[in-house]
Amino acid sequence: MNFNITKIMFPWFFLVGFCFPISFDVENNSYQSMGRAWALSSESMPLTSNTFVDIAKQHNPAVVNVSVKAKTRKTSDRFKNPGHRGQKDQFRDFYDKFFKQQQQRPGPGQGKPPRRGGTGSGFIIDADGYILTNNHVVEGADEILVNLDDDNEYTAKLIGTDPKTDIALIKINRENGDNTPFPYLRMGDSDKLEVGEWVVAIGNPFGLPHTVTVGVVSAKGRNIGAGAYDEFIQTDASINPGNSGGPLINIKGEVIGINTAIISGGGPGGGNVGIGFAIPANLVKSILTDLREKGKVTRGWLGVMIQKITPDLAKSFSLKDNKGALVGDVIPEGPAAKAGIQRGDVIVEFNGYKVNNMEQLPKIVAQTTPDTDVNVVVVRDGNSVTLNVHIAILKDGEQKLAQGGATEDPLGMQGQDITPELAQSLDLGSEDGVLVSDVTAGQSAAEAGIKRGDVITEIDRKPVKNMSEYKRSLGAIKKGRTVLFLIKRGGTTIYIAVRIK
């Protein structure tokens, strides 16, 4: 693989994120800068001159290179068009490009493709050889190979995958009766993570094995449009193509995330610009037992379609603030419907967890054990109502109803019925049609120009009065077709043609 290496000289103090001369006094455990000092608590940040050296030495042996041999490479639905504000998934692009390049290169002797088709990272989580990595690293693989820091290579068995969170569990075994335990990493508590904490990323960027980079946690709970369970840790530790599946480690030596995605500056294979994303360790831990025992994840299902609460909606529904998830529709005969949840309810608490925004609810519901009863608190007509809901199992046929998420069609947009309150607050003049409540960047609807707040009144020249007619019309359309929408936008009416991918 060929790639350009650009040498850039930076003052050393930029490496710790400051724009002025700074030094670190190890003996007194304090920063000195411009005549001022900030004392550091040894409990909150036990940083010494050897901290990162120790992490690298102790944890490198448990970080692995994951490579695959595959006849064809599939593209995960979760990462077909993911990224932040329309950015492509540069990890996915890297694997596809690298795989094709390797196939095109003559192999030794016979001109056959070489053994490996793509490469990523992973890390061992117990002495028996179980390894966590990204689903998009191993997806579609006919053979998975794992290389350890000691240059030993193993063939791995795929134990379980979860495309929705892009996590995969694989396993390697010692050979010839060798019972030597594998080195492994300890999973930490990502909920205790604080913005500004030091973190270390270890992986195989651009195929360069066991590369260590250092940075800080830039943000928590990032939603980058990859799916219903987005809750990424953002970091400025250098993460590049090939880091996928590798660990993000705090200075206690605990894994607090799995490196998964980046926003790239462009160029061949993409590259780091200081914005990388990791799946929180606690999300991984919540599905690990299912992956190990069942090979897939069983999730809870509530059976509602929800939307964000805007200031206008909060005013229309006489809410004190914008917190909660507004129920736009309830699935007939679903758990919510049977419990008495109604359209227009605002879910503010689920099973003891506060619901501050729409994005939180699908994650909380998904982690709820199916076939159990939970209390759900809703605000209805200004009053708090507590309902008991028997949570069901999310089935494949119910994926589009995303365990409490708003209904999303194949075009990548979410719609809802227009209530009298919505018609009045948005000055629509009519309750007929379907209101577009959200549009996923990079999907068909967004690319065609449909926007949030648009009202769909016709599909293929036939009137659409509500969500039932909308879903019926789309359900009869085959993939690959171009669909003609009549859209109300502001005071105008326009036609938009959208191709179903």
- Which residues are marked as active site? 136, 166, 244
User: How many Å apart are CA 94 and CA 121, to the nearest integer?
Assistant: 13
User: How many Å apart are CA 365 and CA 388, to the nearest integer?
Assistant: 14
The torsion region of residue 47 among left (phi > 0), alpha (psi -120 to 50) and beta comes to beta
Q: Residue 213, Cα to own-chain centre: how many angstroms?
A: 22
State the residue for tokens 């859209």. 487
Q: Please state the φ and ψ torsions of residue 150, each to the nearest 5 degrees.
A: -90, 10
> Residue 362 is inside which H or E element, if any?
helix 360-366
- What is the token pair recorded at 450? 């449909």
- What is the token pair recorded at 274? 């200081």
Helical spans, DSSP H, in 8-124 = 51-59, 90-104
Strand partners, 118: 68
Strand order in the sheet with 30-33: 23-25, 30-33, 36-39
User: How many Å apart are CA 303 and CA 281, to the nearest integer?
Assistant: 27
User: How many Å apart are CA 321 and CA 315, to the nearest integer?
Assistant: 8
User: How many Å apart are CA 52 and CA 501, to the nearest integer?
Assistant: 47
CA angle 128, 132, 138 (to 5 degrees): 115
